[in-house]
Chain A
Amino acid sequence: DSGVTQTPKHLITATGQRVTLRCSPRSGDLSVYWYQQSLDQGLQFLIQYYNGEERAKGNILERFSAQQFPDLHSELNLSSLELGDSALYFCASSAQDRGTEAFFGQGTRLTVV
């Protein structure tokens, strides 16, 4: 158990809908990272938050957004969902900023139908 909790574990939704994925980092970790793993794109870094502030941005679509709350949990919002958004979404946390060891949650499997 990495100490990073992601909910829900599975999510099935229709195209055009909006979903929110939640991540609770390890206790004391200030950084949260979001990744998308899909069959055609592989594993991609989406975005990082550090102590509530956006720190780094990767290949995140404009339809997607994220935030980190004062209690350090994070949410990834995916809107106007398309079939191609079906993927495993991982959250990871680390104690400090990038360059420190990160621990991954088990992922949320999103299926868009």
Chain B
Amino acid sequence: GEDVEQSLFLSVREGDSSVINCTYTDSSSTYLYWYKQEPGAGLQLLTYIFSNMDMKQDQRLTVLLNKKDKHLSLRIADTQTGDSAIYFCAGEVRFGAGTRLTVKP
């Protein structure tokens, strides 16, 4: 099966960049995903990257994929307090445990 690991907590100051990292074991996923879950809310697909891409940029979000190291990262530029949430890295089947991002004013 595919295991997905990510750090549990990240705290940044408003205006700084946030980088959330993820590692995975199975390379068979065609796509890799980042989801956002705000308190008490459902899952929101933030962005995804096709497995043969190295980078994808979408406004303030940048996804980097290192296939050799099986490492995926999500960078949020100019992080705002509204970005405070849990961010899940996922393959097509398995999810990471989620990284709780706290943005301090």
Contact = CB atoms under 8 A, between A and B. Distances in A.
Interface of A: 2, 35, 42-45, 56, 58, 90, 92, 98-107
A44 B2 CA distance: 12
Interface of A is mostly: strand
Contacts of B45: 101-104
Interface residues on B, range: 10 to 19
B43 A98 contact: no
A101 B93 contact: no
B8 to A, nearest CB: 10
Interface of B: 29-31, 35, 41-45, 48, 88, 90, 92-95, 97-98
Given A99-B31, A105-B42, A106-B42, A45 B94 contact: yes
B58 to A, nearest CB: 13
Nearest to A109: B40
Contact of B93 (A58, A92, A107): A58
B48 A101 contact: yes
